[in-house]
């Protein structure tokens, strides 16, 4: 069965499994980048505690770069899938080309920040000169060579939109393997390679990302034959760019809010560098679990978007039902792992003075995973049905409107010594549950307005 026929005819249950598994693996491997870096850096002979703190502080900017790349890709994914569902190959070529033009613009902005902005950013979160120096070195490398992660994110979505998610996973695997091999070599200095510490972790990460992007570029050019390729299609088309960001901007904001949330949480926890580091380490574990939901969301969105382009109510409804069921199953597994093995994760990172904070955070915040996963699935459904505003509402609730005021209020009690820092962690389950209830109401509304009205 050809890829386009598969999107039209294969039962949605089977299609979601077939597309979802590679995407879930792809997103899980993307989370591995940060986990592996932290694990190797945490086991450095000298300065490991300061290095872990530095990686915690640079993480929001890394997330922001990924946010813009993935958000642009999400808009491209949904628009391209819907355009192909309508049989418009000429427009599909322009959609793909304009997404690559946007990638160039995004890279230029990241490059300039890497040259001029890293010192001010790191210094806003710490006064430790060692942490500032390590954070600047790591972040500057990641920004200057950010074209790897940006174009990987775009080519990944272009392949997913045509049902070729297996190939995006292959590219992700190659990048992860390159990163894992290079990390100990460059961090510790093995063979002819000098010991580079935190800088070595940065170089290993960006080399892996560039390898992934290069491989996916080859797959895109050779396999995506449903539309034409060429530099001429990169000519900016205002209408298409607006359509991409009508879908993708809420996804960018959603991802960017994650970055803002982590940055503000670092400021809230500034009173305790150990708690700050513990939150940063836990967030990477949390990313690994939630990226499973993000991977499945990346199957949900093109499947429902393609069905929406076809005006197939049944396939849309099946996509919603199976997407939510499979997401809940994945999140139950994630909760079980994090609740049972928090000590093992702390040992992996060599958490040191942050160990108890880290274990406390894992036991409390992981309760929120099931609700968080459902919220991610809701957003994939909204994006497929042109529900950008609904997706944005959930993001704002989860990562700004509820979580940060709650955490800030709880932190007052911590500073007064009345309760432990674990009180701050309870802001996460409360936030995700509240957003999930709102998301259910929005889902009912969008199904009534967008699906039931289809002829």
At 43, phi and psi to the nearest 5? -105, 15
Distance in Å from the first CA to the final CA of the chain = 27
pLDDT value of residue 381 = 93
Q: Which residues contact 425 (CB under 8 A, 6 or more apart)?
A: 360, 361, 364, 365
Q: Is the pLDDT of residue 271 over 70?
A: yes
| pTM of the entire predicted model | 0.74
pLDDT value of residue 371 = 97
Average pLDDT rounded to a whole number, residues 147-157: 93
CA distance 8 to 203: 43
pLDDT value of residue 415 = 59
User: What's the Cα-to-Cα distance from 217 to each of 67, 149, 212, rounded to whole Å?
Assistant: 20, 12, 9
Q: Which residues contact 277 (CB under 8 A, 6 or more apart)?
A: 49, 52, 53, 56, 351, 354, 357
pLDDT tier for residue 4 given thresholds of 50, 70 and 90: low
383-416 confidence digits (pLDDT tens):
889 887 898 899 899 989 999 999 999 988 875 5
Q: Is the pLDDT of residue 227 over 80?
A: yes
310-361 confidence digits (pLDDT tens):
888 999 999 999 999 999 999 999 999 999 998 888 888 887 778 888 999 9
pLDDT value of residue 419 = 57
pLDDT value of residue 264 = 92
Average pLDDT rounded to a whole number, residues 154-173: 86
pLDDT value of residue 33 = 66
CA distance 18 to 53: 39
The percent of residues above 90 in pLDDT, for the chain, comes to: 48
73-82, 220-229, 386-395, 410-419: least confident range: 410-419
Are residues 67 and 255 in contact, defined by beta-carbon separation less than 8 angstroms? yes
Mean pLDDT in the chain? 89
Q: Is the pLDDT of residue 1 over 70?
A: no
Q: Which residues contact 114 (CB under 8 A, 6 or more apart)?
A: 139, 140, 141, 142, 143, 144, 146
pLDDT value of residue 284 = 83
Average pLDDT rounded to a whole number, residues 223-252: 88
Identity of the highest mean pLDDT range in 52-61, 252-261, 323-332, 340-349: 323-332
Q: Is the pLDDT of residue 7 over 90?
A: no
Q: Is the pLDDT of residue 45 over 60?
A: yes
Structure token digits, residue 245: 């960001």
Identity of the highest mean pLDDT range in 25-39, 173-187, 340-354, 382-396: 173-187
Q: Is the pLDDT of residue 417 over 50?
A: no
pLDDT value of residue 418 = 45
């Amino acid at each position: 069965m050809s890829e386009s026929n598969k999107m039209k005819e294969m039962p949605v249950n089977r299609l979601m499994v077939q597309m979802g598994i590679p995407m879930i693996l792809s997103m899980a491997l993307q989370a591995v980048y940060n986990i592996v870096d932290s694990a190797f850096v945490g086991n450095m002979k000298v300065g490991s505690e300061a290095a872990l703190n530095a990686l915690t502080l640079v993480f929001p900017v890394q997330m922001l770069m990924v946010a813009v790349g993935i958000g642009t890709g999400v808009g491209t994914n949904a628009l391209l899938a819907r355009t192909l569902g309508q049989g418009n190959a000429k427009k599909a070529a322009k959609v793909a080309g304009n997404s690559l033009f946007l990638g160039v613009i995004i890279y230029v902005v990241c490059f300039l920040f890497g040259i001029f902005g890293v010192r001010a950013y790191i210094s806003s979160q710490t006064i430790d000169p060692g942490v500032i120096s390590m954070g600047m070195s790591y972040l500057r490398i990641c920004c200057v060579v950010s074209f790897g992660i940006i174009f990987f994110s775009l080519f990944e979505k272009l392949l997913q939109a045509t049902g070729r998610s297996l190939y995006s996973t292959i590219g992700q695997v190659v990048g992860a393997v390159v990163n894992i091999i290079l990390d100990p070599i460059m961090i510790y200095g093995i063979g002819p390679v000098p010991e580079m510490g935190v800088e070595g972790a940065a170089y290993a990460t960006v080399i892996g990302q560039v390898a992934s992007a290069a491989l996916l570029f080859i797959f895109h050019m050779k396999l995506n034959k449903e539309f034409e390729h060429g530099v001429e299609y990169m000519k900016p088309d205002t209408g298409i760019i607006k359509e991409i960001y009508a879908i993708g901007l809420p996804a960018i904001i959603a991802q960017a809010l994650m970055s803002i949330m982590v940055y503000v949480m670092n400021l809230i926890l500034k009173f305790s560098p150990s708690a700050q580091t513990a939150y940063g380490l836990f967030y990477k574990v949390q990313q690994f679990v939630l990226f499973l939901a993000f991977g499945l969301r990346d199957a949900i969105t093109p499947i429902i978007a393609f069905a929406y382009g076809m005006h197939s109510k049944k396939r849309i409804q099946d996509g919603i039902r199976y997407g939510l069921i499979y997401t809940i199953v994945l999140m139950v597994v994630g909760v079980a792992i994090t609740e049972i093995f928090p000590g093992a994760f702390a040992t992996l990172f060599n958490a040191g003075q942050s160990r108890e904070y880290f274990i406390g955070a894992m036991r409390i915040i992981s309760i929120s995973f099931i609700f968080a996963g459902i919220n991610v699935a809701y957003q994939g459904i909204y994006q497929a049905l042109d529900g950008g505003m609904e997706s944005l509402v959930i993001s704002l609730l989860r990562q700004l409107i509820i979580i940060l005021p709650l955490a800030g209020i709880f932190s007052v009690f911590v500073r007064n010594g009345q309760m432990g820092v674990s009180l701050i962690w309870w802001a996460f389950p409360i936030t995700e549950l509240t957003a999930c209830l709102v998301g259910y109401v929005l889902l009912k509304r969008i199904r009534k307005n967008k699906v039931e009205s289809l002829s």
